[in-house]
Structure 1
Amino acid sequence: MRLTKKEIERANKRRRYSDGRGLFLSVSANGRKTWSFCYRFPDPAKDTVKSGKPKKGYREREMSLGSIDFMDIDDARDRCVELRRMVRQGTDPMEERDRETRHVIRQRRDGSTFKQVADRYIDVKKAEWDAGGASEQSWRGSLAKHVFPVIGDTPVDRIDRADVLDLLLPLWTKVPVTATRLLPRLDLIFSYAIEEGLRSGNNPADRDSLRKSLPKASKVHRPKRHKAMTYDEVPEFVAKLRERQGVAPQALEFLILTALRTSEVIGATWDEIDLEKGIWTIPAERMKIKRSGNGEERMAHRVPLSPRALAILKAVPHEDGNPHVFISRTKARNGLSNMAMLDLLKNDMGYAGKATVHGFRSAFRTWAAEATNYPDQLAEFALAHYDDDETVAAYRRTDLFEKRQPLMADWAAFVSSKSNAA
């Protein structure tokens, strides 16, 4: 009895439903429905002799035809007619399909080096990554520095698990943070190569498998704390900073006042700033930490701007056609270099080995905890640290902006306490 369209729609039990003549509808545990063709094909290895008479052996085979989402019942029946004809003519449909697949792989893989495949993968995926290209730059930079010099020119189908291990092992202890980022990237690139028919077999960079052959990341990686001056040293530093001219000193003081990261400050554009309301709204895609909740879209991060922060914004130089708040003095229509503030701190002001730009966030956090009565949660929100737990985040509908305004105003007053400017 052939299946009707209603029977196909209603089929929800985990089993196979026969349509007759070798065609079956298979329903998986998660409800996915696929077509398959079941047939017997001669197998000389199973030939036997019974009562002096030879008996031909067969093997039972099941060939997947695809999901019902892409093949309706009529197409599945037509396909089975072709496959039954192949069986009658002595051709095993599954072996023929595998032979054609191998032929396609041989055609596609010619000249496909690992670097070529990696570049194609990044070109495909970068559209879904964060705006601004930070993820793309990170991928291309890490691969160019650590991977391409080793296996970049090797055909992607010639690279095996041992090659990947040889690549990763030296990095695993020398630059563990980079190595742990590279592993999933390699995994995804090789998965892409397999899906595109550029290589067959197992993924040589399967992360779960390779981790069993690599030292535990937690044992070889001890996160380094950013060097930071104590919070009571910051006011004197800010006083010295205000004696300097240029965009970099302005940007560094603005970073200290807002307690945010280098990338967020140098990436600031004028359309993010509301001078009248004293609010800086950083789009979610520019934030290192994404605010998320169960089923919610990512949210922007709002920063309350103190009077001193607003004064800096009103004093910074402008360039026609340049959207950046802190502009480059050497490259037209560009923002400040990501090394400008660090160079100022280390080389110009002599704090090499004593402090880092990122360390001012630590100074702010310690000040808030030890010198104020503000709740820890406010300081964490000011640093753009949000709950990783999606359930907790889903119930928090506020960024506590109004409560953070006095916190940031008090921080600004503290860091300005030894300066002539208010």
Structure 2
Amino acid sequence: MRATNRLSAQFVKAAPVGKHCDGAGLWLVKRDDGGAQWVLRVTVHGRRREMGLGGFPALSLAHARKLSDRWRMLAAMGRDPIKEREAESRAARREDISLSILTSDAFEARKADLKGDGIAGRWLSPLNIHVLPKLGKVPITDLDQRDIRDVLAPIWHTKADTARKALNRLSIVLRHAAALGLDVDLQAPEKAKALLGKSRHVAKNIPSMAWIDIPQFYKSLEEPTLTHLALRLLILNPGTRSKPIRFMRLDQVQDDVWTVPGEDMKGRKGATPAFRVPLSREAQRLIALARPHARNGFLFPNSRGGVISDMTLSRHMERHGLEARPHGFRASLRTWLAEATDAPHEVAEAMIAHFVDSSVVRAYRRTDFLDQRRQLAERWADHVTGGPRQLMQLGALK
């Protein structure tokens, strides 16, 4: 095999999951989620350095080779390419202090705190959609409360949560700029909030289904399609939310326990531990029915190599004239726990993956109530499938 230029453009497009060497330290890293990243490995002063060049297909094979040639040449001269790139970035920041540039810089600094490194784009989207199109080129040192008020006024009463997030992100970006030594008005977001006034928007809870009505809906999901199976599994285990269900992998299930990775649970990366889910006999039966559909390890794949979308589940309920949405099954389960069982509060909250105590308390109380939750999961499965409905007595669990 050739020492360099080993990969072809055609191979890169269809590369399987794993690491693929193009030669001379250039690698293509293909992830399980279908994304890919170019990585360059060089040695500087006897120390190996690994730097990301960019993602594919945004960065083509030809462009990745050109970039790698440049950074490899610097390494051969004894200069650290990663530090050189950082120096170039700092120089660019000194020349361009626009809100857009500082937003990108703040996001990069914050990525490690965001779930999935912020790849989904939710952190940036309020600014990208509602702020940066009008204010992106404004020097951040010129940004004031009137600028912020003017861009957020159109959504202040109609999209209150989005507007609130945009204000929060702007505060973070301004603090980041201040840390870089720029003269910015840190109070501008709060002043803008005062100018905008109180929002008329009234927050609404996600519609849920009464727990007494769930058996009838569950029975309607009798076709062994991926949508029906995923919805049934979500109803049985609503504490996980829909994402872990949709991204469920066969290697996460062992006997009657499903271990959900922390990054798939709601919460920031690194702050959420893996969550063990006790699987009822009915849940295990559904997983067995879904196994023949598995692809690339995912239990609920779609035709494009990923997994079924959250909208697939929501639209199914919408098409059937239901006001309730998949996320609402969490409320259904929690209400059933309160009204039809005497489960201790901590156990009931653990059923929906709520952590009610501080991290210090949880550090000393080293239990996730798995055995107690296993009993409750079986009783909940009996209810939703129309099985025995006697009151669950859990006094012994207290």
Q: TM (normalized to structure 2)?
A: 0.67
Q: Verify the 8 A CA contact 1:387 1:393 in the aligned structure 2.
A: no
Q: Verify the 8 A CA contact 1:281 1:300 in the aligned structure 2.
A: yes
Q: Verify the 8 A CA contact 1:289 1:384 in the aligned structure 2.
A: no
Q: Verify the 8 A CA contact 1:231 1:364 in the aligned structure 2.
A: yes
Q: Verify the 8 A CA contact 1:251 1:266 in the aligned structure 2.
A: yes
Is 1:226 aligned to 2:195, yes or no? no
* Alpha-carbon separation, structure 1, partners of 2:224 and 2:248: 20
Q: Verify the 8 A CA contact 1:190 1:204 in the aligned structure 2.
A: no
Pair 1:290–1:402, CA change in 2 (3 A): farther
Q: Secondary structure at the match of 1:178?
A: helix
Of residues 107, 119, 122, the one that matches 2:104 is 119
**TM superposition shift of 1:336:** 1.3
Q: Secondary structure at the match of 2:106?
A: helix
Q: Secondary structure at the match of 2:362?
A: helix
1:331 alignment partner AA: R
Query: Which residue number in structure 2 is paired with residue 365 of structure 1?
Result: 334
Is 1:313 aligned to 2:287, yes or no? yes
1:258 alignment partner AA: N
Q: Verify the 8 A CA contact 1:291 1:386 in the aligned structure 2.
A: no
Is 1:203 aligned to 2:186, yes or no? yes
Pair 1:291–1:364, CA change in 2 (3 A): farther
* Alpha-carbon separation, structure 1, partners of 2:134 and 2:114: 26
Query: Which residue number in structure 2 is paired with residue 284 of structure 1?
Result: 262
Note the residue ranges of structure 2 that are not aligned, 5 or more in a row.
Answer: 1-89, 388-398
Of residues 303, 307, 312, the one that matches 1:335 is 307
1:118 alignment partner AA: T
Q: Verify the 8 A CA contact 1:229 1:355 in the aligned structure 2.
A: yes
* Alpha-carbon separation, structure 2, partners of 1:236 and 1:214: 47
Larger Rg: 1
Note the residue ranges of structure 1 that are not aligned, 5 or more in a row.
Answer: 1-104
Q: Deviations over 1:85-144 (max 9, x none)?
A: xxxxxxxxxxxxxxxxxxxx998554443223212322332133223646x521122222
Number of aligned positions between the proteins: 298
Query: Which residue number in structure 1 is paired with residue 321 of structure 2?
Result: 350
Instruction: Report the identity percentage.
Output: 30
**TM superposition shift of 1:248:** 1.2
Q: Secondary structure at the match of 1:229?
A: coil
Query: Which residue number in structure 2 is paired with residue 66 of structure 1?
Result: none
Pair 1:373–1:200, CA change in 2 (3 A): closer
**TM superposition shift of 1:304:** 0.4
2:385 alignment partner AA: S
* Alpha-carbon separation, structure 1, partners of 2:113 and 2:333: 34
2:374 alignment partner AA: Q
* Alpha-carbon separation, structure 2, partners of 1:403 and 1:291: 28
**TM superposition shift of 1:213:** 4.2
Pair 1:326–1:373, CA change in 2 (3 A): same
* Alpha-carbon separation, structure 2, partners of 1:201 and 1:111: 15
Q: How does 1:210-221 map to 2 (within 5 A)?
A: 210-215=192-197, 220-221=200-201
Pair 1:404–1:271, CA change in 2 (3 A): same
Q: Secondary structure at the match of 1:316?
A: helix
**TM superposition shift of 1:311:** 1.2
Q: Verify the 8 A CA contact 1:306 1:409 in the aligned structure 2.
A: yes
* Alpha-carbon separation, structure 1, partners of 2:91 and 2:187: 18
